[in-house]
């Protein structure tokens, strides 16, 4: 992280306080790295060693996610600019702008989904917990959502008429979630469930009497 301050003092607390004054921040606004603890030395004088700390201003999760994704794209030699679209406690949405958006989105969204997965995984490991990040480019997510919900609606109406369950083409976990929510919110007489494994996993829409666990 940028703009860190390293400071010494007779104790860790004194060194931290001095560094906070330099940064103009409060203790809860920084991350603290203790480089050395204070040592008294012989008779408290000879060989005495001051405490040394380094303080880093905390970066919000959204900005951290932005830096991670930008770094990945830079390494891939894409000329892009990443911005924060949504910064909420349980969700960060990032937007990519730049050249070669077709390659960044990839076939059926494969590349942008991979970028989203990698960014989320890196942050989840850093923070030792699930971090949800959505990566978008040129409104791809909204366009994809529209297609998915339109397909789900068409299939749902077929199921209503026929009384028989029907499956949609294989989708990602996020896309299957969209279908489940759409059916739940718009069709009280229908239900949906997932079937299959891996890349072939599908969402099935069925009459409520045939609801699956």
The residue ranking higher by pLDDT, 31 or 206, is: 206
Instruction: Return the axis-axis angle of helices 173-186 and 140-162, rounded to nearest 10°.
Output: 50
Output the pLDDT for position 47: 53
* pLDDT, tens only, 21-58: 998 888 888 889 999 888 765 555 555 788 899 998 88
DSSP H helical segments within the chain, as ranges? Answer: 12-23, 61-75, 101-105, 110-127, 140-162, 173-186
User: pLDDT band for position 13 (50/70/90)?
Assistant: very high
DSSP category for residue 208: G
Does the pLDDT at position 186 exceed 90?
Answer: yes
User: pLDDT band for position 213 (50/70/90)?
Assistant: very low
Give me the residue spans of the domains in the chain: 5-57, 61-138, 143-210
Residue 100: strand, helix, or coil = coil
Output the pLDDT for position 44: 52
- Residue linked to tokens 């028989």: 164
The Cβ of residue 213 has, within 10 Å, a number of other Cβ atoms equal to 3
Instruction: Return the axis-axis angle of helices 61-75 and 110-127, rounded to nearest 10°.
Output: 130
Return mean pLDDT, the chain.
89
Residue 168: strand, helix, or coil = coil
Residue 40 burial class via C-beta count within 10 angstroms: exposed 0-12, middle 13-18, buried 19 and up: exposed
Output the pLDDT for position 211: 45
* pLDDT, tens only, 90-137: 889 999 999 889 999 998 889 999 999 999 999 999 888 999 999 999
Same fold, 61-138 and 143-210: no
The CATH number given to 61-138 is: 3.30.300.20
Q: Which fold has domain 143-210?
A: Ribosomal Protein S8; Chain: A, domain 1 (3.30.1370)
Residue 78's contacts (CB-CB under 8 Å, 6 or more residues apart) are 98, 99, 100, 103, 104
Give the mean model confidence (pLDDT) for residues 160-184. 94
Output the pLDDT for position 202: 94
């Amino acid at each position: 992280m940028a703009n860190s301050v390293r400071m010494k003092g007779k104790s860790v607390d004194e060194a931290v306080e001095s560094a906070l004054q330099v940064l103009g921040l409060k203790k809860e606004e920084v991350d603290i790295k203790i480089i050395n603890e204070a040592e008294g030395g012989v008779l408290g004088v000879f060989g005495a060693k001051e405490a040394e700390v380094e303080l880093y201003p905390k970066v919000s999760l959204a900005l951290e996610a932005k830096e991670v994704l930008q770094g990945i794209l830079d390494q891939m030699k894409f000329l892009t600019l990443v911005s924060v679209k949504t910064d909420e406690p349980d969700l960060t949405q990032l937007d990519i702008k730049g050249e070669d958006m077709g390659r960044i989105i990839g076939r059926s969204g494969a590349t942008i989904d991979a970028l989203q997965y990698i960014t989320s995984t890196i942050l989840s490991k850093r923070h030792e917990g699930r971090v949800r990040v959505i990566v978008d480019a040129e409104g791809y997510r909204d366009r994809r959502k529209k297609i998915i919900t339109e397909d789900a609606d068409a299939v749902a109406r077929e199921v209503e008429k026929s009384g028989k369950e029907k499956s949609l083409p294989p989708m990602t976990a996020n896309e299957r979630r969209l279908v489940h929510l759409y059916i739940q919110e718009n069709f009280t007489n229908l239900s949906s469930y997932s079937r299959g494994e891996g890349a072939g996993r599908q969402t099935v829409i069925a009459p409520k009497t045939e609801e699956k666990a």
